[in-house]
Amino acid sequence: MDLNQKITGFDLWHLKLPVVSARDHGIGRVSGSCEIVVLRLTSEGGSEGYGEASPWSVFTGTPEASYAALDRYIRPLVVGRSLADRAAILSDAAKIVAHCTEAKAALETALLDLTGRVAGVPVWSLIGGKCRDTIPLSCSIANPDFDADIDLLARLREDGVRLIKLKTGFKDHAFDVMRLERIARDFPEFRVRVDYNQGLEIEQAVAQVLDVAQFKPDFIEQPVRYHHFDMMAQLRKLIDVPLLADESVFGPEDMVRAAREGICDGVSVKIMKSGGLTRGQSVARIAAANGLTAYGGDMFEAGIAHLAGTHMIAATPEITLGCEFYQASYFLEEDILETPFPVRAGHVVVPDTPGLGIKPDPDKLSHYAVRKSEAG
């Protein structure tokens, strides 16, 4: 094990991954494909580490911005540096380009994967050790064709999944209520969470959120636009189910403000918003210190980002509400990992092998690439 070895390779792929259905969220639709950027770091000893940036243009940013942040601005900070300098590299990357949190998440993931492979230890051991072996999986119900989601619900039930998140606020309130009633009647096995993804206008929000709260979901997430902190705080006082913040809270700095202004009972922690695993842990810890809960959210991700989130949650006891790493299993036509993302009986299984535990399949990276840079 030599953590003083230098990073010599920095390769990028911009991938376009076909998906099996359309998904509507309050702020936009994803259909046809989703786009991610994969980063591979290589050490002078020949070890490799992978990271993934999974942006969404209406939420966090674009794949073009992630690619440029990594290729143009972050690459010169990384190549030639020692693996032992991870904290310094991440600190420099945070300063060299504003925002681009997905690119910074990809960087930290790849550094941790590479370090874990060189050291022979899993990523969770590098960020605090493990507090759980499995994580309850939540799958989102977001198809504009609800009949197709009925089929998905039957499949999820068969697979042992018991958490679902109903995406609301993209069509009309009657559609949301109809689906809540139908799920309660025909799929009572599921615990239901509701996520508006900012889909409600201010003048609609009180009536619709109060109505949906009567179904007693585990929580209601981000009914209004991210900057409406006052409205979030007002809604929180009106309902007797927990209100979660997602788009309002990207990193620890937002979490401090969210707690101070009382906008939520919990937060969706995502490495793509926070800018990495350790900053995601900070979000969860600030939430917990303020008496708030935390959930392991994600973007439209493939298996590498799912694995990074899994290791983060495995090492973060404050994230108690499960995770939503379902895309690799239920949304992508084909994931990019060599072996399937590990899900068993409705739970994500935390890998115990070095690094992230699973590598991407190089043939799939080539097959789905719309742009690549393997200059090293």
What residues line the site for Mg ion (CB under 5 A)? Answer: 195, 221, 246
Task: Read off φ and ψ for residue 170, nearest 5 degrees.
Answer: -105, -15
- At 207, list the tokens: 């009536």
In this complex, which beta carbon is closest to Mg ion, that of residue 48 or of residue 221? 221
Shortest spacing between CB 268 and Mg ion, in angstroms: 5
Shortest spacing between CB 323 and Mg ion, in angstroms: 13
Distance CA 321, CA 326 (A): 15
Listed in sequence order, the residues at least 6 apart from 15 whose beta carbon sits closer than 8 Å to its beta carbon are 35, 36, 37, 38, 302, 336, 365, 368, 369, 370
Shortest spacing between CB 34 and Mg ion, in angstroms: 16
Distance CA 82, CA 80 (A): 7
In this complex, which beta carbon is closest to Mg ion, that of residue 195 or of residue 318? 195
Helix spans in the chain (H): 63-68, 75-78, 86-96, 101-119, 123-126, 146-159, 173-186, 202-213, 229-238, 252-261, 271-274, 277-289, 303-314, 327-330, 362-368
Shortest spacing between CB 197 and Mg ion, in angstroms: 5
In this complex, which beta carbon is closest to Mg ion, that of residue 29 or of residue 344? 29
Shortest spacing between CB 229 and Mg ion, in angstroms: 16
In this complex, which beta carbon is closest to Mg ion, that of residue 112 or of residue 241? 241
In this complex, which beta carbon is closest to Mg ion, that of residue 113 or of residue 221? 221
In this complex, which beta carbon is closest to Mg ion, that of residue 48 or of residue 246? 246
In this complex, which beta carbon is closest to Mg ion, that of residue 86 or of residue 273? 273
- Spatial contact of 14 and 37, defined as CB atoms under 8 Å apart: yes
Shortest spacing between CB 157 and Mg ion, in angstroms: 23
Strands 369-373 and 7-18, how do they pair? antiparallel
Output the residue with the shortest Cβ distance to Mg ion: 246
Distance CA 302, CA 304 (A): 6
- Spatial contact of 299 and 305, defined as CB atoms under 8 Å apart: yes
Residue 14's CB is within 10 A of a number of other CB atoms, namely 20
Strands 369-373 and 347-349, how do they pair? unpaired
- At 10, list the tokens: 């920095």
Distance CA 11, CA 7 (A): 11
Shortest spacing between CB 59 and Mg ion, in angstroms: 9
Shortest spacing between CB 300 and Mg ion, in angstroms: 12
In this complex, which beta carbon is closest to Mg ion, that of residue 52 or of residue 195? 195
Shortest spacing between CB 270 and Mg ion, in angstroms: 8
Task: Read off φ and ψ for residue 186, nearest 5 degrees.
Answer: -100, -15
Distance CA 31, CA 149 (A): 15
Strands 134-136 and 347-349, how do they pair? antiparallel
- At 170, list the tokens: 């993209």
- Spatial contact of 43 and 12, defined as CB atoms under 8 Å apart: no
Shortest spacing between CB 310 and Mg ion, in angstroms: 18
In this complex, which beta carbon is closest to Mg ion, that of residue 107 or of residue 209? 209
In this complex, which beta carbon is closest to Mg ion, that of residue 11 or of residue 195? 195
